[in-house]
């Protein structure tokens, strides 16, 4: 059974295109698996860059780029602690957003796994002929 939900969020046809572009950009920041893994790690507590490097197994410069992206997009905040930077999530809406994403993913897992429009770069997911 399909459920319909109401929301106080603006409806797409009443929102300026530039605002929708910004919203899409916000989701693209979370569209990278490494950034999402880092964000979920930081949601469990404040983390240093070194802790993040150990968690994702990438180089420090690569992790720093991902952390900078998350900070620039407002998902995490960074504070200097001597020679280190510590990252944390200050906005509780980030927790809600990630929880909602997990719930939607669980509810739509089969459809997402068959969605060739998103993973068109993967030969196994190309459009059926």
pLDDT in tens, 54-106: 999 999 999 999 999 999 999 999 999 999 999 999 999 999 999 999 999 99
Whether residue 63 is found in the same domain as residue 28: yes
Both 31 and 66 in a single domain? Answer: yes
Asked which of 12-16, 26-30, 57-61 is least confident by mean pLDDT, the reply is 12-16
Residue 109, domain extent: 91-129
Burial environment of residue 77 by CB neighbours within 10 A (0 to 12, 13 to 18, 19 or more): middle
Residues 57 and 113 in one domain: no
- pTM for this one? 0.77
Residues 58 and 104 in one domain: no
Highest mean pLDDT among 2-6, 21-25, 33-37, 119-123: 33-37
- pLDDT of 34 higher than 90: yes
User: What is the crossing angle of helices 33-43 and 60-72, to 10°?
Assistant: 80
64's CB contacts (< 8 A; 6+ apart) are 49
How many residues are present in the chain? 129
């Amino acid at each position: 059974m399909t459920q319909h939900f109401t929301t106080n969020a603006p409806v797409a046809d009443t929102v300026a295109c530039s605002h929708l572009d910004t919203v899409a950009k916000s989701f693209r920041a979370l569209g990278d698996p490494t950034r999402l893994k880092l964000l979920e790690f930081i949601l469990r507590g404040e983390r240093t860059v070194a802790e993040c490097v150990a968690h994702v197994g990438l180089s420090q410069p690569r992790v720093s780029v991902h952390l900078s992206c998350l900070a620039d997009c407002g998902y995490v905040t960074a504070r200097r602690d001597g020679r280190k930077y510590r990252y944390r999530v200050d906005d509780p809406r980030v927790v809600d957003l990630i929880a909602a994403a997990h719930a939607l993913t669980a509810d739509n897992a089969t459809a997402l796994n068959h969605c060739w429009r998103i993973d068109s770069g993967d030969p196994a997911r190309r459009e059926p002929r």
